[in-house]
């Protein structure tokens, strides 16, 4: 099942990448990042079956960090929305220069 | 220990005598330079508000037709440009400046006496330290004491002392008095290094040094641009000659591997006679001589050098520095004797210079310019002498010329001093050096008049004065070598050497005639006839102080009796040929090679006839001048009519300076300005710099600019700023592309 | 569950839910409405949870449902609702055609490269005996194999993660606060 899992994981990851590149809505982009993280989790779990439980422990931590990241990231998006009244990233270029 | 007394092979007989202090000879003037230099640096003369210079009007009259001419300021006695302000430490300088020279001269005399007592024929070399040990080349800082260098040392220190003493009176009221003596002492130091050096590089140090001091002294009153320009001109023209000297040294080293005189002379005998190498080396050396000793085509700096103080003209441009070229050829006599073509070239150029300069001197009105061209002409004679292998004759003329030319220059210095005093008292701004403003000075300055007549007779070649013996010997030697010598058998540009020598002899005679004429002309216009200086000025004309007149007297004695140093056989008033015997160990080899083994003797009758011709010519010249030139018909310079025709050409020195300017200087300047400066410097290099940095107007401070990035930084910055759009999407793209690259590294491992 | 040779049911389930995950992901990426997209992402996560269970990571699967789908996606939906972004955007959310094509190309390139990388060989020393994890789970239960190393070898990471969570909480609170307008200076 390792090869199949890796296949699925790769496809999911690529879809996540395409989503990040294609969409403009900040929340959708964020969700695509979560998709990528999930794909990676699948990889780790698949490897854990073959190479030992450390893979699952890694997934554990990834999930924790993803949760923290989601919290902070959404707080940022809220602050951004309050400032700019939009979450369309094409219009937000505060980093310009 | 710095002083390692290593003589040549074994211990030299001179080792224990005064000669072992030869290093002290140049060191004393160097000490004078240091002390005087420090005095000059330590105290500046501050001109206060009630300085006499402020009361004078502006624009000292430079109403001359000749270019680059700034009149010698007649010492220092008040003029709008050279205020009277005696230096605070003038007394110390007056003691130290000439003092070190006197000590040097005394030491030189002691060494000379020791040399005469020992009578060795080997040079005494004292090596101090290894200067340039580079691979095969071993150049030592060493002095070589032999008869030739001793002769030069005596002339330099002897005449130099007299001129230093004269300078005390002449320059004491100049604000730059210590600086003057510092430079003068430094010059003597370098000149002594030049003549005492035991190898060409050490000699070259002195060579360059005297060039430097000449520049410093010519432009002594540098606040006037013309003086500074004259100094520059001297230095630059000299440089061209120095290039020749250097190339000759390079060729010597490349082919022989030695640069010290002993080594070169030893190796030279192995070189093929008349070969291309030896001839080329000698010609390049002569290029150096042409620069330093003012021969055609590099003589143009010497008349301009008259912008310096008159004692400088006497010392440097009459007695010592300009004779360095003659010394060089005499020192390299072995090389020159192997290259008859080069020898003929030297003779030809010497003869041409002699007559060319003499002709210019016929029509000069500035008294110092007459003497300058006379110097160039007499130097030509010296080169005729050494070029034809008559080294003793040439060096003898060098010695006698230093006597009477120094006397002439110092005498003219007294005259100018008196004229300047007179003009200062009456507030006249005419040129104090123009002979048309003088006249009848015999009444006011009889001692100077008498002494200068002595010098004039000497230079014209009237027996029994000095110049007669030396000039006659040169002309006789040239005539004698036109058959039976290696020169006669060689060819110069296809012409047989004998013919060349005969022609040069004739040119020499013609130049002698002209010499007599222009010197008498100078005396007539300056001292005889009515005085044209003006009613009020006349009251202030008088003889110079004794400190300036005393050296003149000594030089006068030497000019009269100097011929005793090398009397010819037909005039046995004293020891015959003393100088010849003295110099024989040094120049004998070269001279004999040219005369093919045996000293060339003219038949007694021929010799007497030549002497008679020479005397007749000299007397004829003086008589011609007295007959044709009427000092009464002169008018003061400001009223003088313009010259016409050939006289105008002569008065303008054949327009040589103008030709050089148009043919050489202007193209170089134009190329520098147009091509090098605008084209390469501004266009190319600044363009490249503009790639990196530019200037933009500063808005906060109008009129100024601030730097900003040039093309390159702005391009790179533009590219960078395009990447910094601030849009996260773009950054994501960059990220992904980066990931692809990293994955690619793994994929294609 | 132990399986030396995989039963058909197992394989079918694996492929089925894998397919569901992929299709859900594709649909998720192409939704205009953020709420719809969130729902589809939840679907992906559920499918993945099944896959985790099938891969002998039962605890992880449970955590996936509880934490990821149950907490993180809920937060997402909270924010969407809070900012009233539930409606499909007026402007076209996705970018132009060329952009999408380029993104597709990049994606394909990445896929290809990932495949190539997965062909790499891991040294045999790391490979555990067959079914070792399944045996462990059967022996000690689902949680114990995970918990043991977590509190022994990876204790430091565990503690640090707790600090990280603290920081995240504080950060989220600070960032989410409305600025108070104070007139007093």
Q: What does the pLDDT read at residue A59?
A: 95
Domain ranges of chain A: 2-89
The two tokens of residue B626 are 């007295």
In a domain, C73, yes or no: yes
Distances (CA, A) of B186 to B60, B101, B523: 31, 11, 34
Nearest to A17 among B721, B731, B736 (CB): B736
The CA angle B218-B34-B81, to the nearest 5 degrees, is 35
Q: How many whole angstroms separate alpha carbon B651 and alpha carbon B365?
A: 8
The per-residue pLDDT of chain B, averaged, comes to 83
Total domain count, chain C: 1
Percentage of chain B beyond pLDDT 90 is 31
Q: Are residues B414 and B481 in the same domain?
A: yes
In a domain, C139, yes or no: no
In a domain, C36, yes or no: yes
* Mean pLDDT calculated for residue range B686-697: 81
Residue contact A22–C29, C-beta within 8 A: yes
Distances (CA, A) of B620 to B510, B515, B517, B733: 11, 11, 9, 107
Beta strands in B117-240 (DSSP E): 124-134, 137-145
Distances (CA, A) of B539 to B421, B442, C79: 11, 14, 118
C33 exposure class (CB count in 10 Å sphere: 0-12, 13-18, 19+): middle
Q: Which of B46-55, B645-654, B662-671 has the lowest mean pLDDT?
A: B46-55
pLDDT above 50 (res A53): yes
Check residues B176 and A71 and name the one with the higher pLDDT. Answer: A71
Percentage of chain C beyond pLDDT 90 is 46
Q: How far is C171 from chain B (nearest CA, A)?
A: 21
Q: Are residues B148 and B259 in the same domain?
A: no
Nearest to B438 by CA among B635, B648, B304, B170: B635
Q: Are residues B227 and B155 in the same domain?
A: no
Q: Are residues B610 and B729 in the same domain?
A: no
Q: Are residues B161 and B251 in the same domain?
A: no
Which residues in chain C are contacts of B746 at CB distance < 8 A? 113, 116-117, 120
pLDDT band per the 50, 70, 90 thresholds, residue C89: low
Q: What does the pLDDT read at residue C165?
A: 95
pLDDT above 70 (res B56): no
Chain A touched by B736 (CB under 8 Å):
yes
Domain residue limits at C64 = 1-122
Q: Are residues B243 and B191 in the same domain?
A: no
Chain C touched by B740 (CB under 8 Å):
yes
Chain A touched by C120 (CB under 8 Å):
no
pLDDT tens by residue, B358-386: 999 888 888 999 999 999 999 999 999 99
The two tokens of residue B598 are 């045996």
The owner of tokens 């793994």 is B746
pLDDT above 50 (res B448): yes
In a domain, C128, yes or no: no
Nearest CA in chain C to A35: C41
Q: What does the pLDDT read at residue B275?
A: 84
pLDDT above 80 (res A94): no
By three-state DSSP, how is residue B570 classified? Answer: coil
Residue contact B732–A96, C-beta within 8 A: no
pLDDT tens by residue, B248-259: 999 998 888 888
Residue contact C55–A31, C-beta within 8 A: no
Q: Are residues C38 and C24 in contact, defined by beta-carbon separation less than 8 angstroms? A: no
pLDDT band per the 50, 70, 90 thresholds, residue B242: very high
Q: What does the pLDDT read at residue B625?
A: 87
In a domain, B682, yes or no: no
Q: Are residues A89 and C95 in contact, defined by beta-carbon separation less than 8 angstroms? A: no
pLDDT above 50 (res B61): no
pLDDT band per the 50, 70, 90 thresholds, residue C181: low
Q: Are residues A30 and A77 in contact, defined by beta-carbon separation less than 8 angstroms? A: yes
pLDDT tens by residue, B699-728: 787 778 888 878 888 888 888 877 777 777
Nearest to A21 among B725, B727, B736 (CB): B736
Residue contact B737–C106, C-beta within 8 A: yes
Q: Which of B734, B738, B747 to mutate to test the interface with C (most CBs of C within 10 A)?
A: B747
In a domain, B685, yes or no: no
Q: What does the pLDDT read at residue C39?
A: 95
Check residues B632 and C63 and name the one with the higher pLDDT. Answer: C63
Q: Are residues B477 and B608 in the same domain?
A: yes
* Mean pLDDT calculated for residue range A27-40: 94
Chain C touched by B737 (CB under 8 Å):
yes
Q: Which fold has domain A2-89?
A: Helix Hairpins (1.10.287)
Q: What does the pLDDT read at residue B64?
A: 28
In a domain, C59, yes or no: yes
Q: CATH number of the domain that C67 lies in?
A: 1.20.120.1200
The 3-class secondary structure across B511-548, one letter per residue, is HHHHHHHHHHHHHHHHHCCCCCCCHHHHCCCCCCCHHH
pLDDT above 80 (res B555): yes
Q: Are residues B402 and B375 in contact, defined by beta-carbon separation less than 8 angstroms? A: no
Q: Are residues B436 and B557 in the same domain?
A: yes
* Mean pLDDT calculated for residue range B316-322: 79
In a domain, C164, yes or no: no
Half-sphere exposure of B276 (CA within 13 A, CB side): 0
The owner of tokens 């008040």 is B78
Question: What's the N-to-C CA distance of chain B in angstroms?
Answer: 72
In a domain, B405, yes or no: yes
Q: What does the pLDDT read at residue A82?
A: 85
* Mean pLDDT calculated for residue range B137-166: 91
Last residue of a domain, one of B651, B669, B684: B651
* Mean pLDDT calculated for residue range B66-70: 36
Q: What does the pLDDT read at residue C25?
A: 96
Total domain count, chain B: 3
Last residue of a domain, one of B651, B672, B695: B651
Q: Are residues B342 and B473 in the same domain?
A: yes
pLDDT above 50 (res B291): yes
Q: Are residues B507 and B608 in the same domain?
A: yes
Q: Are residues B588 and B474 in contact, defined by beta-carbon separation less than 8 angstroms? A: no
Task: State pTM to two decimals.
Answer: 0.70
In a domain, B681, yes or no: no
* Mean pLDDT calculated for residue range B255-281: 87
Q: What does the pLDDT read at residue C157?
A: 93
pLDDT above 70 (res B683): yes
Q: Are residues B489 and B274 in contact, defined by beta-carbon separation less than 8 angstroms? A: no
In a domain, B541, yes or no: yes
Beta strands in B459-594 (DSSP E): 491-492, 495-496
Q: Are residues B596 and B464 in the same domain?
A: yes
pLDDT above 80 (res A21): yes
pLDDT band per the 50, 70, 90 thresholds, residue B74: very low
Q: What H or E segment, with its residue span, contains residue B707?
A: strand B705-709
Q: What does the pLDDT read at residue B6?
A: 43
Domain residue limits at B257 = 223-651
In a domain, C136, yes or no: no
Check residues B494 and B404 and name the one with the higher pLDDT. Answer: B404
Last residue of a domain, one of B151, B181, B198: B198
B159's CB contacts (< 8 A; 6+ apart) are: B315, B319, B320, B402, B403, B406, B555
Q: Are residues B471 and B607 in the same domain?
A: yes
């Amino acid at each position: 099942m390792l090869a199949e899992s890796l296949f699925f994981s790769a496809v999911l990851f690529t879809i996540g990448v395409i989503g990040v590149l294609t969409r403009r809505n900040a929340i959708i982009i964020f969700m695509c990042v979560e998709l990528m993280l999930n794909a990676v989790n699948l990889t780790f779990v698949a490897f854990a079956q073959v190479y030992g439980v450390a893979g699952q422990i890694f997934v554990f931590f990834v999930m924790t960090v993803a949760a923290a990241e989601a919290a902070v990231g959404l707080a940022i998006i809220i602050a951004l929305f309050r400032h700019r009244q939009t979450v369309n990233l094409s219009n937000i270029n505060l980093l310009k220069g | 220990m710095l002083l390692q007394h290593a003589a040549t092979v074994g211990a030299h007989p001179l080792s224990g005598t005064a000669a072992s202090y030869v290093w002290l000879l140049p060191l004393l003037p160097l000490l004078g330079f240091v002390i005087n230099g420090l005095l000059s640096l330590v105290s500046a003369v501050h001109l206060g508000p009630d300085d006499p210079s402020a009361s004078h009007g502006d624009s000292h009259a430079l109403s001359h037709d000749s270019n680059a001419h700034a009149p010698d300021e007649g010492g220092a006695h008040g003029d709008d440009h050279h205020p009277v302000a005696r230096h605070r430490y003038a007394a110390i300088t007056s003691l130290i400046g000439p003092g070190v020279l006197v000590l040097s001269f005394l030491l030189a005399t002691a060494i000379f006496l020791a040399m005469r007592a020992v009578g060795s024929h080997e040079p005494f070399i004292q090596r101090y330290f290894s200067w340039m040990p580079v691979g095969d080349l071993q150049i030592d800082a060493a002095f070589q004491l032999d008869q030739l260098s001793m002769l030069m040392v005596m002339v330099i220190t002897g005449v130099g002392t007299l001129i230093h003493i004269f300078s005390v009176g002449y320059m004491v009221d100049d604000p730059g008095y210590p600086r003057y003596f510092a430079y003068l002492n430094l010059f003597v130091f370098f000149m002594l290094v030049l003549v005492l050096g035991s190898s060409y590089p050490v000699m070259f140090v002195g060579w360059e040094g005297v060039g430097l001091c000449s520049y410093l002294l010519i432009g002594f009153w540098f606040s006037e641009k013309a003086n500074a320009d004259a100094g520059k001109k001297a230095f630059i023209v000299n440089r061209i000659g120095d290039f020749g000297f250097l190339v000759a040294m390079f060729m010597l080293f490349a082919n022989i591997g030695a640069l010290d005189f002993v080594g070169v002379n030893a190796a030279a005998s192995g070189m093929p006679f008349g070969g291309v190498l030896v001839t080329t080396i000698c010609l390049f050396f002569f290029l150096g001589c042409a620069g330093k000793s003012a021969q055609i085509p590099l003589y143009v700096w010497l008349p301009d050098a008259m912008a310096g103080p008159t004692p400088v003209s006497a010392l440097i441009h009459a007695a010592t520095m300009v004779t360095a070229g003659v010394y060089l050829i005499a020192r390299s006599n072995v090389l020159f004797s192997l290259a008859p073509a080069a020898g003929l070239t030297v003779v030809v150029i010497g003869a041409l210079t002699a007559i060319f300069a003499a002709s210019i001197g016929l029509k000069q009105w500035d008294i110092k310019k007459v003497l300058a061209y006379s110097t160039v002409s007499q130097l030509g004679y010296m080169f005729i002498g050494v070029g034809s292998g008559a080294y003793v004759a040439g060096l003898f003329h060098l010695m006698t010329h230093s006597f009477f030319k120094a006397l002439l220059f110092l005498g003219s210095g007294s005259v100018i001093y008196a004229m300047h005093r007179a003009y200062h008292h009456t507030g006249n701004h005419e040129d104090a050096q123009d002979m048309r403003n003088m006249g009848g000075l015999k009444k006011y300055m009889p001692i100077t008049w008498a002494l200068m007549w002595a010098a004039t007779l000497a230079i014209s070649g009237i027996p029994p004065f000095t110049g007669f013996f030396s000039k006659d010997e040169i002309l006789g030697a040239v005539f004698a070598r036109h058959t039976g010598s290696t020169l006669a058998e060689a060819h110069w540009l296809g012409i047989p050497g004998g013919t060349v020598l005969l022609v040069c002899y004739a040119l020499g005679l013609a130049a002698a005639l002209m010499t007599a004429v222009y010197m008498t002309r100078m005396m007539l216009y300056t001292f005889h006839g009515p005085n044209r200086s003006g009613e009020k000025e006349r009251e202030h004309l008088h003889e110079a102080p004794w400190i300036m007149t005393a050296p003149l007297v000594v030089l006068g004695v030497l000019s009269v009796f100097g011929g005793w140093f090398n009397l010819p056989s037909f005039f046995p008033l004293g020891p015959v040929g003393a100088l010849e015997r003295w110099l024989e160990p040094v120049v004998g080899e070269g001279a004999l090679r040219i005369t093919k083994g045996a000293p060339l003797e003219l038949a007694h009758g021929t010799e007497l006839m030549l002497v008679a011709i020479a005397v007749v010519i000299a007397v004829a010249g003086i008589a011609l001048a007295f007959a044709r030139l009427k000092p009464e018909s002169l008018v003061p310079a400001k009223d003088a009519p313009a010259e016409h025709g050939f006289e105008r050409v002569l008065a303008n020195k054949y327009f040589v300076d103008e030709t050089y300017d148009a043919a050489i200087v202007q193209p170089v300047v134009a190329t520098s300005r147009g091509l090098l400066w605008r084209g390469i410097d501004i266009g190319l290099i600044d363009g490249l710099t503009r790639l990196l940095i530019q200037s933009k107007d500063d808005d906060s401070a109008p009129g100024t600019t601030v730097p900003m990035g040039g093309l390159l930084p702005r391009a790179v910055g533009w590219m960078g700023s395009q990447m910094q759009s601030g849009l996260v999407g773009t950054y994501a793209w960059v990220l992904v592309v980066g990931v692809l690259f990293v994955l690619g590294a793994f994929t294609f491992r | 569950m132990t399986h030396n040779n995989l039963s058909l049911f197992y394989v079918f389930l694996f492929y089925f839910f894998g397919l569901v995950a992929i299709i859900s992901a594709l649909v998720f990426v192409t939704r205009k409405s953020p709420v719809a997209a969130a729902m589809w992402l939840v679907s992906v996560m559920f499918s993945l949870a099944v896959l985790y269970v099938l891969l002998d990571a039962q605890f992880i699967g449970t955590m996936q449902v509880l934490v990821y789908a149950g907490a993180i996606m809920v937060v997402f939906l909270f924010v969407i609702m809070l900012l009233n972004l539930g409606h499909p955007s007026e402007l076209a959310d996705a970018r132009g055609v060329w952009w999408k094509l380029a993104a597709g190309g990049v994606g394909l390139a990445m896929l290809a490269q990932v495949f190539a990388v997965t062909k790499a060989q891991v040294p045999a020393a790391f490979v555990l005996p067959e079914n070792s994890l399944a045996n462990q789970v059967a022996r000690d239960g689902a949680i114990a194999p995970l918990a043991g190393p977590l509190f022994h070898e990876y204790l430091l990471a565990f503690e640090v993660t707790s600090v990280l969570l603290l920081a995240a909480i504080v950060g989220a609170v600070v960032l989410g606060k409305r600025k108070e307008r104070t007139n007093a200076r």
